[in-house]
Amino acid sequence: MLRFGILSTAKIGRELVVPAIQDAENCVVTAIASRDLSKARAMADRFSVPHAFGSYEEMLASDLIDAVYIPLPTSQHVEWTIKAADAGKHVLCEKPIALKASEIDALIAARDRNKVLVSEAYMVTYSPVWRKVRELLKDGAIGRLRHVQGAFTYFNRDPGNMRNIPELGGGGLPDIGVYPTITTRFVTGKEPLRVQATTERDPEFGTDIYSSVRADFGDFELSFYISTQLAARQVMVFHGDKGFIEVKSPFNADRYGSEELELTNQNHSQSQLFRFQDARQYRLEAEAFSRAAIGEKEEIVTLENSVNNQKLIDAIYRASEKDGWEGV
């Protein structure tokens, strides 16, 4: 059993990742750390976790854990990933693991010098829904892929929320723009060449709240929009010359709908529905990470993959400042 320590009592850890690890077959949470010991103890008691620490450093120095899950504000991901790796711990860090592709070089160096596993927590890449999309595309189910279309939106104007605070790494592209990009790259195995984009910022917060993006992958295009101040919506569609695949609630099925995709043929006379009941993508992520951490062969999100995804996000920001294409 890989023993996880949780670095902070953040909401995503409390509500999604810690329960998933506790439910997993090959890993367990053995410690919670917070800068407030009472918060760490309260969360540890809630999930029957045996150990609580009143500082991150104390937990990293402990031999009670083998790996660390980091759900800190985005601006702290690089710093604490390096500290955890230097403490000899494997690291599963929430997305985005960095705010610029160049920052990930230091993480690769920390991973390599400490011989630990470091991975960005894109739970979607472990989901049976997205593995089925990849399989269908590979099998030619929709013929030649020509266009991918996506949307991911929610409404949040809470000034105290980290997503609306630039200093904490807030903004729509770091929070949700990474999902249409990582999933498209995951299922196609292709990388973008250039991008066009329009981005709007909140006049009060200064964070990016809306982006409309067009990315050229050579053989096909990806177009998507994201927003932190629109009615909630998620969709991804892969359109080919022989049919199309629609992923109904591609990123947060528990909140946006059922875990399913629909394959429709060329003349719209036939469709197949693939439904995945209770897929538990966070549990699958934890189990895959744990297998890879002990040396088993497993497909995970590598830091090299993270670099390529962040390069696209970086290019979207640059493209938003100009009229025309920007190279990735």
Q: Judging by beta carbons within 10 Å of its beta carbon (0-12, 13-18, 19+), is residue 223 exposed, middle or buried?
A: middle
> Is 89 labeled as catalytic in the residue annotation?
no
CB neighbour burial string for 97-110, b if at least 16 within 10 angstroms, e if fewer:
bbbebebbeebeeb
Q: CA–CA separation, 327 vs 315, rounded Å?
A: 7
**Residue 222 near residue 180, CB atoms below 8 Å:** yes
> Of the listed 83, 95, 132, 248, which one is catalytic?
95
Q: CA–CA separation, 137 vs 202, rounded Å?
A: 38
The set of catalytic residues is: 95
